[in-house]
Amino acid sequence: MSKMKIYLASLLLAAASLVANAQENVPLEVFAQNPSFSSMKISPDGKHIAATYPIEDQVRLAILKADTFEPVYQYYFGDKDQVAQYWWANNDRILMRTAIKTGQYAQRFIDPRIWAADIGGKVKVVFNEYANVSIHDMLPEDEQHILINSNHEKRQFTNLYKLNVYTGKMLKIADNPFKYARMLYNTENEPVFALESDEDTGETRVWRREEGKDWAIFDRFPPFKGKNYAGSMVPISMHPDGDKVYLLSDQETATRSLWLYNMATKEKTLVYENETVDVSPVFEKLPNWEEARLVAVTFDDGVRQRVYLEPDSAAAQEYAALSGAFPGSYVATVNQTEDANKVILEVRSDRNPGMFFAFNRDNFEVKYLTKQYENLDPERMASVEPISFTARDGLKIHGYLTVPNGKEAKDLPLVVYVHGGPHGPRDWWGYDPYAQAIASRGYALLQINYRGSGGYGKEFEQMGFGKWGQEMQDDLTDGTLWAVEEGIADPDRLCIFGGSYGGYASLMGVVKEPDLYKCAIGYVGVYDLLLMKDTGNVAERLDWGLDYLDEALGDDPAKLKEISPHYHVDKIKASVFIVHGGRDEQAHYDNALNIRKEFERHNKPLKWMWKNTEGHGFAAPENRLDLMREMIAFLDENIGEK
C-alpha cells in the first residue's frame, strides 16, 4: 500500500473540448449558470450512477450505466418541482425528494415527501406526511427498508422509524422523549445521546442516558456564541468499540476540536486540535469494514487540509496518493458501492467548482466522469491565496486574495468582498462565482474574515458581538489599507461589495471612510439596525431572535442610529449600487426601499436593482447574470482602467 499509485484514465477533461480564445473574456453566463451536474451517486452494486442535471428551469435525475455513462432513464416532476435529494435504496430502487416552487418566489423549498421508483419504473410516494424527515440509515443488508427520523406523529418530537421503500408502511423503532431533538443511537438503535433545542430560548441541551438509568444533562449551551457561551460538547459518532463517543468540543480549547469520551470512566481525551481554526470530522468506509468510521479531520487553515488520525493507515496512504494525483485540489468521497471498491470522488479547488471521478480500489484507477459546470475551464479562472495581516489593535486577521488570471498582484483595482452572517459564517478557500466573475474582468478581490466570523474559535467570534460598525468595520478598513501598503491595490481604485451583513458593511464602509472607497455595492443588505430589530425573520420568527440582536447590535437606539448607514447618507461621497429582492424577509426589503428614499432626499445619485421574485440572495440564473453584468459595468465606471 505504501507504494500505491493512482492511475488516471480519460483525463482529457474539458481542456481538449474548449476552443475559446484565451484572450477573450470568459462569458458571464459561465459564472451565473446552474451546474450541469450538481451531484452524482453510484448504486450499491456499482452498475449504475444517478446524477442530477438541469434542463431549463428543471433539475432532473438521470440513471446512467456506470461503465459507459450511457443514459438508462430519467425522472422529473413537472414544471414546478425538481429533484433536490436522492438515495439508492438498493441496487434497483431509488428514493427522491423534490424542491418546489411556490407563489412568486424564485427560491425553491424542500417537499417533505419521499418518492420511490425502480430503475425505469413508475414513481410512487412512500412517505406522504407534512413533517421534518431525514434519512438515518439506508440498511444496506435490508433491501426493503430504511430508517428515517420523522416528527409526523407529534410535531415537536422526532422519532426513529423503519420505512418500507415499496409499500410506505412504517414501524416505530425508538421514541424521542425530548422536544425538537436529534438523537445519537448505538449499534442496536438505542438512543444514548439527545440534542434538544429549546424553542423559547434557543438553548441546546445535550442529554445522555446510561444503561439502566434515566436521562441526565451532559452539557448545555446558548444558541449563539455571545457573552454567555463558554464552550460546548457535542457528541457526533459512536466509537467502534461501543463504549466511547467522539465529541466536537471547544470547552477546553480555543477552537472546536475532536475529543474521545469514555462513557464508563467519563474521561475525555483530546484527539486532534488546530490552534487557529475549528475542525470537522471525516468518515470513510474501506473494503472489509462493516460500516464507516471516523478516520480524519478536515479544517480550513488557509487552504483546506485533511489530517488522518492514524497517519500510517491504509486510508491515509490512499488519500495521500489521491491528493498527489490532483495537486492544488481537495479530494472528497461522494459515495461508494456497498463493498467500498468503487467510489465517486469530487475534486474541487479555488479555480474549479467541482469535477466527478470514478475511483476503482481494485486496480487504483481514477476515471474522469464529468464536470459540475460544463462550460467552465479552470485554467482560465483566477487563483485564490490565503493572506493575513495585523489589525490596528494587534489582532491577527485572516483572509483571501483573488488575483486576476495572468495579472501580477501589483497596483490592481481592488474589490473588498465582505461575507455575510456575520456571526458564524466565514470566507473559505475555494471557488466563488461572484469573485471569479469580477476577477475575470481584471479586478482583484480581498475577502476578510473580520472579528466575529466563525471558524476561528469562540473568542474570535465573541469579539464581534456589539462591534458592528466599529472594530468589525475597522478590520475591513485595515485589510484594505494592508493591500494598498503591500502594493497590491491601487489606492485610487478601491470598491467594497458584500451581501447581507456584507451589504451593511459595504455601505458602512463608505460612511465611515468616505475618502477610502470610490464605490460600494450593497447586495440584500441591512442598512437600518433599528428596523432590523423590529422587522424581518430574525426578530419576528425566532423566540430568542431579539436576545441575539440585543447582544449582536446593542440596545441603545442612539447608538444603533450611529452605526446604521441609513442615517448617514449625507456623509457618503462614493458611488453606491443597491441590489435587493422583493421577497427578502431576512434582510427585510424595507431596508433597501427606505435607504433609496434617503438618497433621493439628499439628492445623491444611486444605482438600483430590484428583483421582485427574489429573496435573500438571487436564485434565478438570469437574475444572477443581470446582477453580474450591472456590477461589472458599475465597477468599470468607478474603478476601471485609467
What average pLDDT score do residues 426-453 get? 98
- Residue 122, pLDDT > 70, answer yes
- As a whole number of angstroms, the distance between CA 141 and CA 597 comes to 64
Q: Within 10 Å of residue 413's Cβ, how many Cβ atoms?
A: 24
Dump pLDDT digits (tens) for 558-585: 999 999 999 999 999 999 999 999 999 9
The whole domain housing 480 covers: 382-639
If asked whether residues 372 and 395 sit together in one domain, one would say no
Q: Mean pLDDT throughout 461-473?
A: 97
Residues 536 and 550 in one domain: yes
C-alpha 639/C-alpha 416 separation (Å) is 12
**Shared domain check, 408 and 512:** yes
pLDDT in tens, 604-621: 999 999 999 999 999 899
Average pLDDT, integer, range 447-473: 98
pLDDT of residue 9: 62
pLDDT tops 70 at residue 13: no
Is there a domain that residue 483 lies in? yes
Residue 178 lies in a domain: no
Task: Provide the edge-to-edge strand list for the sheet that holds 133-137.
Answer: 133-137, 145-154, 157-164, 170-174
Average pLDDT taken over every residue of the chain: 92
Write down the pLDDT at residue 173.
Answer: 92
pLDDT digits (tens, 9 = 90+) for 343-365: 999 999 999 999 999 999 999 99
pLDDT in tens, 510-559: 999 999 999 999 999 999 999 998 887 887 766 788 889 999 999 999 99
Instruction: Clarify whether residues 615 and 476 are in a common domain.
Output: yes
CA 581 from centroid of its chain's CA atoms: 21
Q: In Å, how far from its chain's centre is CA 400? A: 17
- Cβ(631)–Cβ(577) below 8 Å: yes
Same domain, 365 and 322: yes
How would you classify residue 39: left for phi > 0, otherwise alpha for psi between -120 and 50, otherwise beta? beta
In a domain, residue 90? The reply is no
Percent of the chain with pLDDT over 70: 95
pLDDT score, position 18: 42
* Sequence-ordered alpha helix ranges (H) in 19-111: 29-32
**Per residue in 278-292, pLDDT tens?**
999 999 999 988 888
What would the grid cell of residue 326 be? 490532483
- Residues 610, 543, single domain; the answer is yes
Q: How confident is the model at residue 6 (pLDDT cuts 50, 70, 90)?
A: low
Residues 499 and 515 in one domain: yes
Say yes or no to pLDDT of 19 above 50. Answer: no
Give the sheet arrangement for strand 355-360, strand by strand. Answer: 7-9, 365-371, 355-360, 342-348, 330-336
548 conformational bin, left if phi > 0, alpha if psi -120 to 50, beta if neither: alpha
pLDDT at 21: 47
In sequence order, what DSSP letters do the residues of 538-553 get, joined into one string? HHHH-TTHHHHHHHHH
Query: At residue 80, does pLDDT exceed 80?
Result: no
Residues 306, 443, single domain; the answer is no
Residue 167: predicted pLDDT: 96
- How many domains is the chain partitioned into structurally? 2
Residue of 181 and 508 predicted with greater confidence: 508
> Does residue 320 share a domain with residue 430?
no
Which amino acid is present at 308? Answer: Y
Query: What single letter denotes the amino acid at residue 457?
Result: G
Higher model confidence: residue 157 or residue 407? 407
Q: Long-range contacts of range 407-410, CB-CB < 8 Å, 24 or more positions apart? A: 407/442, 407/444, 409/444, 409/488, 410/487, 410/488
**Average pLDDT, stretch 21-44?**
89
Among 357, 376, 395, the domain-final residue is: 376
C-alpha cell at 362: 481494485
Which pLDDT belongs to residue 1?
42
pTM for this model (two decimals) = 0.93
The answer as to whether 232 is a domain residue is: no
Mean pLDDT of the region 177-181: 86
pLDDT exceeds 90 at position 23: no
Residue 224 lies in a domain: no
- pLDDT band with cut points at 50, 70 and 90 for residue 466: very high
**For residue 433, is the peptide bond before it cis, meaning its omega torsion is within 30 degrees of 0?**
no
In the chain, what percentage of residues exceed pLDDT 90? 79
The answer as to whether 153 is a domain residue is: no
Q: Are residues 541 and 617 in the same domain?
A: yes
Domain boundary among 332, 353, 376: 376
Check pLDDT > 80 for residue 2.
Answer: no
User: Exposure of 95 by Cβ count < 10 A (0-12 exposed, 13-18 middle, 19+ buried)?
Assistant: buried
The answer as to whether 41 is a domain residue is no
The SS3 of residue 636 is: helix
Q: Answer yes or no: is 112 within a domain.
A: no
DSSP secondary structure code for residue 26 in this structure: P
**Residue 12 predicted with pLDDT over 70:** no
Q: Residue 22 pLDDT > 60, yes or no? A: no
- Pick the residue with more confidence: 190 or 247? 247
Provide the pLDDT for residue 537.
Answer: 80
- The residue among 322, 346, 376 that closes a domain is 376
Confidence of residue 106 (pLDDT cuts 50, 70, 90): low
What's the pLDDT score for residue 7?
64
Residues 626 and 598 reside in one and the same domain: yes
d(CA 371, CA 35) in angstroms, rounded, equals: 9
Judge if 361 and 452 occupy the same domain: no
CATH code (residue 560): 3.40.50.1820
